[in-house]
Amino acid sequence: MYIWNYLQFKYYNNIFYLLNKNLIGKLIKRGRKLYAWKLYFILKYLLKKKIKKDVNIILLIGLIHSLRKVHFIKKRFGSVKKEIPVVLKFERQIKFALNSWLKYVKSKPNNNINLKRLVLYICASYKWRGPIIKENYILYKKAIENRILLNFIKK
């Protein structure tokens, strides 16, 4: 399994540092860092209650499963706008994965984060299920179809 390759090498510390930094940064509201840390520890507690395994491993594997490999840039070719796939760097992949997690759990009126739904989405991506995995698969198929457009950018 390729996930254990991450755990055996030095990438684990780097990935987990980026995960913590970006997740805390997304949870901060109006400069309240202690509030963000409190939400983070509540999230870890709820994950521990849901799945009886190490929380850090669950967060890491859920993040790795929900990484997005490509992003689409809209480019004009004559009078037609095309979406061109661009490969993402690893740091941006982590940011896009966290954005996709938080996109599904924020409530509309005041952007509060529902931690129980976030736990469900993390557990679903941990088990290769859920809307995030489906969305990534659709984007992957779209990138395969549009890969011929990459030749136009290089010229």
Say which residues have a Cβ less than 8 Å from residue 142's Cβ, sequence separation at least 6.
Answer: 72, 83, 85
Structure tokens at 32: 């309240």
Say whether pLDDT at 92 is over 90. yes
The arithmetic mean of pLDDT across residues 49-78, rounded, is: 88
Q: What is the pTM of this model?
A: 0.82
Superfamily holding 3-154: Ribosomal protein S7/S5 (1.10.455.10)
pLDDT digits (tens, 9 = 90+) for 41-54: 999 999 999 998 88
Residue type, 69: K
- Provide the pLDDT for residue 30: 74
Helix, strand or coil, per DSSP, at residue 69 = coil
Say whether pLDDT at 5 is over 80. no
The arithmetic mean of pLDDT across residues 114-126, rounded, is: 93
- CA dist 47 and 37 (Å) reads 15
Q: Are strands 80-87 and 70-77 parallel, antiparallel or unpaired?
A: antiparallel
